[in-house]
A and B are shown apart, each in its own frame.
Chain A
Amino acid sequence: MPTTITEPAADVVLLGVGYMSGVIAAELSIASLNGGKNYKVVAITKGPYWDYVNDFSTTKYDEWGVGLGRKYDSPLPLQSATIRNTPYQFALPVRRYTMPIQYHALGHGVGGAAQHYGGTMGRQGPWGYQMLSQTNTRYPGTIDTINPHNDLEDWPLQYYQYEPYYVQWEQAHGLCGNYNGSATNSSSDTHFPWMSQNYPLPPHPLTPVAQSFQSAAEALGYHPFPHVSSLASQPYTNYPYGVPVNPCVYDGYCGGPCDYACETGAKANAAYRTIPAAMKSGNFTLVVNSFIFRLDTDPTSGLVTAARYYDPQGNVHIQPVNNPGAVFNGMWGYNMIRIMLLSGVGAPYVWNSDPTMVSGAVGRGLTNGYLPYKGTNVSGTLSNIGGNAYPAGNGSGGSVDIYDLMDDNFDHAGLGFIGGSQIGAGGYPGGGPGNITFAGGVSSGSMGATFKATQKDKYLQTKTTLSATPFAPDLPTKDNYVDLDPHYTDMYGDPLTRLTYDWTPNTYIGATWLAKNKVAPLFTQMGAQNVTVGSTVNPGAAHNDWWGHHLRGGCRIGKDPTTSVWNSWNQCWSPGTKTPFNIFGAGEITNTSGDTVPSGTHVAGAQSYRAAEGIKKYLALMTPGLLLP
């Protein structure tokens, strides 16, 4: 018979053990980083501990199991989500991994989704933190037209205030690159994320296509720089934890659709950067294969007093939190929202057809931080540059990017959109088992003589196909949100997460304009032939069917406790019955606005160090309460 077990209380309890929780684990458990204090930290994850040698060096070559069986991912029978595009639709549950998300990872186990992601990184620039105020200043009165039912907000802090936390994140995780394109790298250059310290590792070697892109971009007056990657380009020892990191061996298998697992630990994630230091501290306890289903709260104070979880045998464990003590919500994506809604922590977002009547913050402001699956695309052919696409290289190195076409780095007057995107080219052509066809279905192009013809030059390419799908930020609206599904439950009987979401017009309008006016000329400058802007997609012509990776917002940090969950210290200030101010959180889902860079992880990473500092301050308070900004 399952029973209930009460565990020893901890000073800090971590919900999930991904990138963000790893930072909190290391920063709070290592006494030398806390003025000699030995905080007891407990971290709970529903998945396993992953050892990159034992788990990936042989098993990742199982293309069927990894790509289709999703054996590294969160099991859908355990919990899924339901999706719909509008509040007027009936949301249906995701029952299997399908196109297009099957190319992407969901968090499960120590290291979370970062165990098998591409490794792309990149700081968000100053404009991204002040999207609303900057837009209202430069293009007054346009935001509500651009973004119907607008719910865009500024972040509580500006870029220069997050900059030191970015440095901490980059040095702890061993990011490689070489600045971000600013000609001066000066804090006065607000078009680029200037850096007080360069990335700790040099960039990966550039491909010939990347060098071509670099020359073309410079010729057009742009400011190219090597792609920022979390795949270690050199042997590295991280700071301040002293964890040694193996370099990338360029076997190529982490790229492409094979789910990105790395068998040398070169790809940054918590399991191989921060958690080892926490485990070495003697103050850290790791609980795996355990499913958190509820947070207990004190009815008088509102504070979170314990986390409840199931172990694989069905026993219920109660993990108490000391008082003073803190809980860090580092769950993947919308799971962060779900546990708060299930537990009555914070004010849940309540949608209303009258946008002036919405209320609450938990679940509010869901966006997608990436490009639409069905977006306007630019393609071209470089007939003078071939490539060797036998698996070699890695998932996020070798290319060159520009930030000149994102943020407010060009005049948007009259364009009907704000922001833009990072544009790049030249990644390593050998990226995993390229012959896997996951969900293309049977067609004349995927079988028979036509298919064979396409294979002739597949690996020893004699030319290079360029392709880019630019986009502009997906902006928060009052109609895109997360709540609990009233119909479908997980295997324990608790409601699933329900995503109500569709692409916002800004994304598509920006994508089409950028494709035609900026990216196509770039490709032409590179010497590409047959440059084509294909399948222009207008707003409302394609609908979201994503439910997995790259979601942003929904549990935002902000300046106003009625519309945001977390304050500037990533401390909960959303009032439920009471304000549970001993819970902190960080993740892509806490990013306030739709991202302008593809790596919401990097942006959230800075928040994780801010949160760690906040938790330390909170634990040091004589009378626990909300931290001052």
Chain B
Amino acid sequence: MPALRLSDKPKPISLPQFESRIPKPEELVVLSKPLLDATIAIGKALVNCSNKWAIGGDVAEVISGVNVNPSHIAILTTSEGCDEITNRLAKYQVGPARTVERELEREAKVGLKPYKVRIKSYTSRLNVEGSRLDVHGHLQIKVGNWDWGDPLDFEPDYVYVVNLKLPIIPLKMKSEIYTGLGWTDRAIKIHEAVRRSRHMFG
């Protein structure tokens, strides 16, 4: 059957149009496939890990809906957990676990004054299917000349990735850390993600 004659009646649609703006690509939250695959591989390897651990860093934020761009995966755990995780992921290990102290590129801003930020942890670095993984045991933070903080402790939240139930550092804890460091832009990103995930009256 041939196509019907093309309509010769083009005219404006006089119907109400929703005005929702199409988001720009940079506004959309997506975890890249290499990091996603590495996260799944890590989660499978650590299903029965006996020490407390959780995905931290920017990956934890992305899989919670926060719009950041992770470059690598970070795990927070204890020193014992760092050893156990390193053993479970031994085939991916790059170097031996050791205590590492370093200065972050971004400074804290407390009371409008900038302060250097240092972190210290018992660290193991791995390469999981092409993605960098840093395992931090007993991570501590030091701001300026203040004392080192206590090792970060947490009760993880959980996110499913395929059939894996992955522990992640709670957004609430990250938001508090960012606020304390004066990184309000990062705290605002978290608040935006939380806003989109909650009932408006809840």
Q: Which residues of A contact B (CB under 8 A)?
A: 2, 30, 32-33, 47-55, 57-58, 71, 75, 77-78, 109, 171, 174, 197-198, 200-201, 234-237, 239-244, 246-247, 249, 251, 263-265, 276-277, 279-282, 286, 288-289, 291, 293-295, 297, 308, 310, 312-316, 341-345, 347-348, 484, 491-495, 576-577
Contact = CB atoms under 8 A, between A and B. Distances in A.
Given A264-B196, A312-B13, A313-B12, A240 B36 contact: yes
B102 interface: no
A73 B135 CA distance: 49
Contacts of A491: 11, 13
A109 B195 CA distance: 24
B41 interface: no
13 contacts: A2-B10, A51-B23, A75-B15, A242-B32, A246-B196, A263-B199, A276-B29, A277-B30, A280-B28, A314-B10, A348-B1, A491-B11, A492-B11
B199 A49 contact: no
B15 to A, nearest CB: 5
Which of B6, B9, B160, B197 neighbours the largest number of chain A CB atoms within 10 Å of its CB? B160
Contacts of A197: 163
Contacts of A198: 163
Contacts of A344: 1-4
Given A234-B160, A241-B30, A244-B65, A294 B6 contact: yes
Given A48-B17, A244-B62, A234 B30 contact: no
Interface of B: 1-4, 6-13, 15-23, 25, 28-33, 35-37, 40, 62-65, 157-163, 165, 195-202
Given A49-B18, A201-B160, A312-B17, 11 more contacts: A2-B12, A77-B15, A234-B165, A235-B64, A237-B160, A240-B33, A243-B30, A289-B17, A293-B7, A294-B3, A344-B4
Contact of B159 (A235, A286, A294, A494): A235
Nearest to A47: B18
Nearest to A50: B20
A294 B2 CA distance: 12
Nearest to B4: A342
B158 A235 contact: yes
Contacts of A57: 200
B199 A264 contact: yes
B88 to A, nearest CB: 22
A265 B158 contact: no
A352 to B, nearest CB: 15
Query: Interface SS of chain A: helix, strand, loop or mixed?
Result: loop
Nearest to A56: B200
A179 to B, nearest CB: 12
Contact of A236 (B9, B22, B32, B159): B159
Given A246-B65, A264-B197, A237 B21 contact: no
Given A198-B163, A280-B28, A344-B1, A315 B200 contact: no
A48 B23 CA distance: 12
Contacts of B202: 249, 251
Nearest to B24: A279
A279 B25 CA distance: 6
Contacts of B157: 235
Contacts of A484: 4
Nearest to B200: A57
A242 B15 contact: no
A58 B199 CA distance: 10
A289 B162 CA distance: 34
B64 to A, nearest CB: 6
A57 B33 CA distance: 31
B18 A50 contact: yes
A295 B199 CA distance: 42
A198 to B, nearest CB: 6
Contacts of B19: 48
A55 B18 contact: yes
Nearest to B67: A244
